[in-house]
A and B are shown apart, each in its own frame.
Chain A
């Protein structure tokens, strides 16, 4: 135990004497947590629309004003031809072209049928699909308007099903509620994994690891001495982010138990730091450790269901997501904080994270060799 205490004192001194490192550990996550959630908003609104109105009739004008009044679309411009509108799409000035053919009104009143042409910039498939859907819905309702408003015949009574929609847990559909807890997870992960991965490699590169290797310090003491400081830092960073930013600034008050959340965090940090150590035992230079950490970090972030849903990934990608510790912590955060899930609901998550912790740490201790 005494050995461990001395090691801890050494590590903390090293960390707190490094003036370049402290702001990176404590200030950068706070700033990012303040700003990043504002940038992450997937609600599709403000779809820019270019209108090519060949008809210029009361009907076509009524349709256009109905579209712009819907709140989803912003009229980017009126063009005289499809070609002109298309250059707007090429320049990203507009996302969608609505072309109203000549004779729109007269065909509708005389023959009762008329086509409309819609062209969507579909590079972002989701946005295009939703935009197309919204527009079709507006046109369908315009269709009904014509029947009731313009045509004298009495409206046809159709059986109708009305759906009442209730949004639980987040009634105002605030996207930040969804993003803030998850981004906090990423920041804690980055601080923990990077710092930890760099730490041992630095001793290798500078050569001070030789001095440790010739002492009677046990392998597990050394590893623990590296783990504990970063575990504490991880806890502190999380606490600052959780209470200081998420609670005070964004007003996210956790529904579930804090004790549960913190015990999961404690376990998660052990697993994560074990992973960081593992990286640092395999790397020889800080550059290598960093490239490795970068590689895994990017996969951890993008394959965790943080930004894009895991359900829509192909089967093999779901397997990768299942081997990603971040996936579980992001889920736990969202479940406990936003829905108030209890221990029963996340026992599987505890089990998996426990396995991660055991595997990573055992592997790291085994692969750390005092002799070269």
Chain B
């Protein structure tokens, strides 16, 4: 035990004497949580549109007014002819063109039906279809108001309640996601170099001739980073609650418990990488090049997992941050207890044990 204690102390010195790295370890996650918590949103608003108004009459003006007041659209300019559309799109920042035909008002009054053209820049299909839907909603409401006196005889009034996030804020979805992403990557990054660094600088030999067994070395390596990560977690939680207005509806103790398991899991993954590589460069490239994009996408906060092809949905199951993301949402936002997230917690625990076992197995007590 005393051995272990002094080894942990050595590791703490390693970490705390490198001020620059220490600053980064704390500075990076904090800046990122705040930055992304405020900046990321999938909402589509303030999109530039262009209008080609051949009609230039009462009907077209009323519709344009309705579009102008909607916060989804910014009318960038009016063009005189459809020939300008292509050039407009190629400039890049216009998402949609609306073309009103000649004599819109007259046609509407006399033949009761008129056609309007919506031309969308579909390079981003999501924006294109969302904006089209918004325009159609505006057209519908205009028609309904025109109908005026003769309202339909039957009316179903849907009453929509937005659970958990009545203002539809982006942060509610993105903060737990960024938390899972940043915590995981930073933990992996920290530990992935820890053992391989000793190999590279040659101090590994000294460790190996000491009476320490591999398990003690691995655990002692992870301990300071575990403590640091818990502090990191605390700061991240404080910021997301007080700065980003995230709710904390569930139990804080439970959140800490599960987060500890998640952190251990990430540290174990890092240790495994560290054990299996020969140079810091390789270790870091694997943990960043190899993991950044997959972790980002398979956590499920940027794109819905259920949209992915089946093999990828299955693959997402081995990404620990996916489970942690579900847990954080359940505890912080939904305010659930341990029972509904038991499955996720057990999976994370299982992954942690598995990763630790493999890295213990891979730990070579002989120098190559």
* 0 or 1 for each of B217-255: is its CB under 8 Å from A? (1 = yes): 000000000000000000000000000000000000000
Contact of A302 among B40, B140, B288 (CB under 8 A): B40
Q: Let me know if B90 and A342 touch, CB within 8 A.
A: yes
CB-CB contacts of B280-312 with A at 8 A, as 1s and 0s?
111011101110111011100011101111001
Nearest CB of chain A from residue B107's CB, rounded to whole Å: 9
Is A160 part of the binding interface, using a Cβ–Cβ cutoff of 8 Å?
A: yes
Taken together as a complex, chains A and B put the C-alpha atoms of A165 and B109 apart, in Å, by 23
- Closest residue on chain B to residue A74 by CB atoms: B306
Q: Please, what's the 1-or-0 string for B180-199, where 1 marks a CB less than 8 Å from any CB in chain A?
A: 00100110010001000100
How many residues belonging to A are interface residues under a CB distance threshold of 8 Å?
A: 121
Question: Would you call B293 and A175 a contact (CB within 8 A)?
Answer: no
**What residues on B are CB-neighbors of A3 within 8 Å?**
none
Q: How far is the CA of A334 from the CA of B247 in the complex (A)?
A: 38
In the assembled complex, the CB of B130 is this many whole angstroms from the nearest CB of chain A, namely 7
A42 engages B303 (CB within 8 Å): yes
> Quick check: A158 and B150 within 8 Å, CB to CB?
yes
Chain B residues with CB under 8 Å of A32's CB are 293-294
A259 lies within 8 A of chain B by Cβ: no
Kindly state whether residue B122 has any CB partner on chain A within 8 Å.
Answer: yes
Give the residues in chain A near B137, CB-CB below 8 Å. Answer: 133
Interface pair A312/B44, CB less than 8 Å apart? yes
- Give Cα A191 to B289, complex, Å: 8
Cα A90 to Cα B157 with chains together (Å): 26
Taking a contact as CB atoms under 8 Å apart, the answer to whether B122 and A171 are in contact is yes
* B173–A125 CB distance below 8 A: yes
Q: Bound complex: CA of A215 vs CA of B192, how far in Å?
A: 35
- Contact between A317 and B122, CB atoms less than 8 A apart: no
Task: Confirm or deny: A273 has a beta carbon within 8 angstroms of a beta carbon on chain B.
Answer: no
Which A residues are within 8 Å of any B CB, using their own CB?
18, 20-21, 24, 28, 32, 35-36, 38-46, 89-92, 108, 112-130, 132-133, 135-136, 139-140, 142-144, 146-147, 151, 153, 156-171, 173-175, 177-178, 183, 186-187, 190-191, 194-195, 198, 202, 283-288, 290-295, 297-299, 301-303, 307-309, 311-314, 317, 320, 331, 334-335, 338-342, 345-346
B-side interface residues toward A, CB under 8 Å? 18, 20-21, 24-25, 28, 31-32, 35-36, 38-48, 89-92, 108-109, 112-130, 132-133, 135-137, 139-140, 142-143, 146-147, 150, 152-170, 172-173, 182, 185-186, 189, 193, 197, 277-282, 284-286, 288-290, 292-294, 296-298, 302-304, 306-309, 312, 326, 329-330, 333-334, 336, 340
List the 3 shortest-distance A-B pairs measured between CB atoms, nearest first: A125-B168, A317-B39, A167-B122
- 14 A-B pairs within 8 Å (CB atoms) are namely A28-B290, A89-B163, A125-B41, A143-B155, A158-B143, A159-B108, A166-B118, A168-B120, A288-B18, A294-B185, A298-B182, A301-B292, A301-B296, A339-B121
